[in-house]
Copies of this chain bind each other. A is one copy, B any other.
Amino acid sequence: MAETKNAAKAAAKGSASAMNLPLDRIVQGDCIEVMNALPEKSVDVIFADPPYNMQLKDTLHRPDNSKVDGVHDAWDKFSSFSAYDDFTTRWLAAARRVLKDTGTIWVIGSYHNIFRVGAELQNQDFWILNDIIWRKSNPMPNFRGTRFTNAHETLIWAAKSADKGGYTFNYDAMKSMNDDTQMRSDWVIPICSGKERLKDGEKKAHATQKPEALLYRVLMSSTKPGDVILDPFFGTGTTGAVAKKLGRHFIGIERETDYIKVAQARIADASPADAEALGYNEGKRAQPRVPFGTLVERGMITPGTTLYDSHRRFAARVRTDGTLVAADSKGSIHQVGASVQGAPACNGWTFWHVEKKGQLYPIDVFRQQIWAEMH
Contact = CB atoms under 8 A, between A and B. Distances in A.
A169 interface: yes
Contacts of A135: 133, 135, 186
A111 B133 contact: no
A183 B274 contact: no
Given A216-B297, A302-B273, A133 B130 contact: no
Interface stretch (A119-127, A201-209, A256-264, A353-361): A119-127
A110 to B, nearest CB: 8
A171 interface: yes
Most buried by B among A112, A117, A281, A374: A281
Contacts of A331: 281
B176 A317 contact: no
Copies in the complex: 2
A177 B295 CA distance: 9
A265 interface: no
Interface in A112-146: 112, 114-119, 121-123, 125, 128-133, 135, 137-139, 141-142, 145-146
A280 to B, nearest CB: 4
28 contacts: A61-B344, A72-B162, A77-B125, A81-B122, A81-B123, A111-B156, A112-B128, A114-B115, A115-B116, A130-B148, A130-B150, A131-B154, A137-B373, A139-B184, A154-B154, A170-B321, A179-B289, A189-B297, A190-B298, A213-B298, A217-B297, A246-B303, A273-B320, A276-B304, A276-B317, A277-B303, A279-B319, A281-B321
A304 B246 CA distance: 11
B213 A321 contact: no
A190 B321 CA distance: 19
Given A115-B118, A129-B147, A220 B321 contact: yes
A275 to B, nearest CB: 10
A221 to B, nearest CB: 8
Contacts of A93: none
Interface string A212-227: 1100110011000000
Nearest to A330: B281
A111 B118 contact: yes
B115 A319 contact: no
Interface in A161-192: 161-163, 169-174, 176-180, 182-186, 188-190
A169 B144 CA distance: 12
A133 B133 contact: yes
A323 B176 contact: yes
Given A154-B154, A277-B318, 6 more contacts: A77-B125, A142-B182, A146-B169, A213-B299, A246-B320, A273-B303
